[in-house]
Amino acid sequence: MAEEIRRNPDGAEEVAEAEVTEASVAVHWSEEEYYPPPMQFIAQANFTDPSIYDRFREEHFPECFKEYADLLDWYQYWHTTLDTSNPPFWKWFVGGQINACYNCVDRHLAQHRSKAAFIFVPEPEDEPHVAMTYQELYVRVNEVAAVLQELGLETGDRVTIHMPMVLELPITMLACARLGIIHSVVFAGFSGQACADRIVDSGSRVLVTMDGYYRNGKMLDHKVKADEAVEAAAQAGHPVERVLVWRRYPRQYQSQAPMVEGRDLFMDELLQRHRGARVEPVKMPAEAPLFLMYTSGTTGKPKGHQHSTGGYLAYTAWTSKMIQDIHPEDVYWCMADIGWITGHSYIVYGPLAVAATSVIYEGVPTYPDAGRPWRIAEELGVNIFHTSPTAIRMLRKADPDGPKNHPNVQFKHMTTVGEPIEPEVWRWYYHVVGKGKAVIVDTWWQTETGGFLCTTIPAIHNMKPGSAGPALPGIYAAIFDDEGNEIPAGSGRAGNIVIRNPWPGITQGIWGDPERFIQTYYARYNRDPNSKDWRDWPYFAGDAATLAADGYFRILGRVDDVINVAGHRLGTKELESAVLTVEEVAEAAVVPRVDELKGRVPDVYVSLKPGYTPSPEIQQKIVAAVEEIISKIARPRHVYIVPDLPKTRSGKIMRRVLAAISNGQDPGDVTTLANPEVVDTIRRMVQGEELAGAS
């Protein structure tokens, strides 16, 4: 297995370095066998009609997407399916009026009032789970919307929400959506500083947070991060006026951080005044922004992706119903965090739009042991399970028997998302977790794309381990080489995966930075900047992939400066800026190291300012800086203090050389570098593991 894991990401690494290789390097692996979907699955599936691919052929684009939008309730039907007048800022369902909260909550009351919308599972196993019906969700969302109104928040305002996996998080999101307030949820594991960057960028005047939450058996103090965030935002010239604090246990404050008079308010107290309040959903234009979701960029500044109301909701609703195969009577559990796009699209908006019961688990999957997910699944009767390759690898390592001894764990459907999954790991997921009876979808997509782009349709296609599958209906995906020539299917060559057309779930752009949006996703393959024809604007996803003769895409990994650590996107520049805050550091480079469990982890290389000597203390300071400024998830595996970083004659740091060294490979010909001698020194240091600290 180790070899399989290495082969895959290393292939991607080759592709990653545009300085030295073409996008279209050859990759060498054998085709995997097909697994047909089980008959029991097909018999009950929401979608079994292969003619959809005809209906969504290019000559029917964009009108074909009406089928998606028709899953929603509109106040006013749209007059233009796709407006391409200002490429690449596409507008879907123009003229339509809709409210996302109404579609996720109110409209289900007639048929599903007393059915659970969410089931919250606290991390402590002796704390009972909480099932929240659609009626209860409706009541609580209305009350929170009343609080937001009382505080003077209005349609179009931005609110930053820095909260863990608790019911109050989707309640707050939906309350914002009810009023047309744009929410910006920041992953709870992010530091106060990272939260501040997102507050400032989005211009939020209100921060919603929580006192504390359980993680790995400990109650974490979360409110302290809010204080850090507000302070850092103030230093950046942006005042936060209000901090709304949910309490994990109402009236029992868990944090050491004092409440700041005049700024901080407890949500449970504010809500007292709004018991039973009802707030009319605001009729929003289809193209009004629903939320912002930040990703790491190739420069230090995170990008706020703006997702639309109508297009995004139509896309996540259709994919939840047809790809996740959610029926109202299913119990669906996605183990992602709502603080990432997967949680927005496939814990909250998509599942609720199709009246699902969606499970929210507070803690880590392996707490208190790797049997926890199976106990939860057994207790709640989960039949659709959705997670990442990193979680699957961790569970497999901790207990290779998986749910074998839990006869009542019986999934009909399982999803993998966020990273390439090695065929060996896929087979374990299929045979051991799914007991050979569940269908698997390997869904490739991104924060920017709103929902799935490539995957098998579960009752229609055979599965193939390690391959996401064909592009979804209406997604015209292709592999391009560096010059923009299409690499034919079955050629065995890798290249850049592109989507040739817009689709309803696509990001509307980067908040406050339209030029960066064009540069990052479209400049690469745009044929004419003045063209109003969508065919001239292929979307560059930033991933390398191959396309097999059967039309299945296999994703290799990022081609830009992004490291995918356990499914979390971290920008190398962002990490390097954090490292450079350490006083002794002169220069820094961060590169991905292949890791058996997490896919990739960051390795840090630094040179020191004159007068400083390498020491374990400096290494520790660097690790602490990364954890504090970004997050513990970004913790470097190694910090190497080297005499100098390898550079080109023009002074560019050669990260490719360092990545090769970190991954036990030969750095290749370095004679053209400005300082080739340093490469050997670094190589001996790293591959001989001298001074390799901070593991």
| Interface contacts to ligand PRX, rule CB under 6 A | 295, 340-342, 417-420, 442-447, 468, 542-543, 555, 557-558, 564, 569
Q: Which residue's CB is nearer to ligand PRX, number 339 or number 693? A: 339
> Cβ 89 to ligand PRX, closest distance in Å?
20
> Cβ 542 to ligand PRX, closest distance in Å?
6
- In this structure, the strands spanning 242-246 and 206-210 are parallel
Q: Which residue's CB is nearer to ligand PRX, number 318 or number 340? A: 340
**Residues in a beta bridge with 84:** none
Residue with the two structure tokens 């057994």: 378
Amino acid 229 reads A
The answer to whether the beta carbons of residues 303 and 520 sit under 8 Å apart is yes
**In the 8-state DSSP scheme, what is residue 249?**
B
Angle at 191 (CA atoms; ends 247, 446), nearest 5 degrees: 100
> Cβ 279 to ligand PRX, closest distance in Å?
32
| Strand, coil or helix: 116 | strand
Q: Which residue's CB is nearer to ligand PRX, number 519 or number 695? A: 519
Residues in contact with 91: Cβ distance below 8 Å, sequence separation at least 6, in sequence order = 80, 82, 83, 286, 287
Residue with the two structure tokens 């688990």: 361
Residues in contact with 626: Cβ distance below 8 Å, sequence separation at least 6, in sequence order = 575, 578, 579, 602, 604, 634, 635, 636
> Cβ 347 to ligand PRX, closest distance in Å?
12
Q: Which residue's CB is nearer to ligand PRX, number 194 or number 270? A: 194
The answer to whether the beta carbons of residues 502 and 509 sit under 8 Å apart is no
Across 345-483, where does the E strand assignment appear? 357-361, 384-387, 413-417, 439-443, 477-480
Q: Which residue's CB is nearer to ligand PRX, number 81 or number 447? A: 447
Q: Which residue's CB is nearer to ligand PRX, number 133 or number 447? A: 447
> Cβ 568 to ligand PRX, closest distance in Å?
7
Q: Which two tokens stand for residue 694?
A: 């901070």
Q: Which residue's CB is nearer to ligand PRX, number 177 or number 341? A: 341
Q: Which residue's CB is nearer to ligand PRX, number 169 or number 468? A: 468
> Cβ 562 to ligand PRX, closest distance in Å?
7
Q: In whole angstroms, what is the distance from residue 101 CA to residue 117 CA?
A: 13
Element (H, E) at 102: helix 100-104
- In this structure, the strands spanning 331-334 and 357-361 are parallel
In angstroms, how far is the first alpha carbon of the chain from the final one?
23
> Cβ 390 to ligand PRX, closest distance in Å?
11
**In the 8-state DSSP scheme, what is residue 404?**
G
> Cβ 416 to ligand PRX, closest distance in Å?
6
Q: In whole angstroms, what is the distance from residue 473 CA to residue 453 CA?
A: 9
Q: Which residue's CB is nearer to ligand PRX, number 71 or number 417? A: 417
> Cβ 36 to ligand PRX, closest distance in Å?
20
| Strand, coil or helix: 154 | coil
